[in-house]
């Protein structure tokens, strides 16, 4: 495969998941996404949650961006 064709073959996908106070559901959502989609990077945006959403995401080992307060 030459370089031109290789560039066409390599595609990077990103799943962005916004979350606000989702401690009851975030673990299930992340597990299902990781089970179904194995070819994407995943980033969770913790939008100022006041529950344990951020801690749960950290335990999953995924990329986490946390806002200091809810930005809507």
Q: What's the mean pLDDT in 33-50?
A: 92
User: Domain containing 22: what range?
Assistant: 11-67
What phi, psi does 46 have (nearest 5°)? Answer: -85, 105
Contact predicate 63/40, CB 8 Å? no
**Is residue 39's pLDDT more than 70?**
yes
What phi, psi does 59 have (nearest 5°)? Answer: -65, -30
**Is residue 21's pLDDT more than 60?**
yes
**Is residue 67's pLDDT more than 80?**
yes
**Is residue 25's pLDDT more than 60?**
yes
- Examine residue 20 and state whether it is found in any structural domain, yes or no: yes
- Examine residue 2 and state whether it is found in any structural domain, yes or no: no
pTM of the model: 0.78
Q: How many helices (H) and strands (E) does the chain have?
A: 3, 3
**Is residue 23's pLDDT more than 90?**
yes
- Examine residue 16 and state whether it is found in any structural domain, yes or no: yes
- Examine residue 45 and state whether it is found in any structural domain, yes or no: yes
Number of structural domains (the chain) is 1
- Examine residue 34 and state whether it is found in any structural domain, yes or no: yes
pLDDT given at position 68: 94
- Examine residue 29 and state whether it is found in any structural domain, yes or no: yes
Contacts of 70 (CB under 8 A, 6+ apart): 20, 47, 48, 49
Of 7, 56, 11, nearest to 19 by C-alpha is 56
């Amino acid at each position: 495969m030459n370089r031109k064709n290789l560039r066409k073959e390599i595609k990077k996908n990103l799943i962005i998941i916004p979350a606000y106070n989702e401690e009851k559901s975030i673990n299930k959502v992340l597990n299902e996404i990781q089970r179904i989609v194995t070819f994407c990077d995943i980033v969770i945006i913790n939008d100022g949650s006041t529950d344990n959403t951020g801690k749960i995401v950290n335990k999953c080992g995924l990329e986490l961006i946390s806002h200091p307060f809810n930005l809507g």
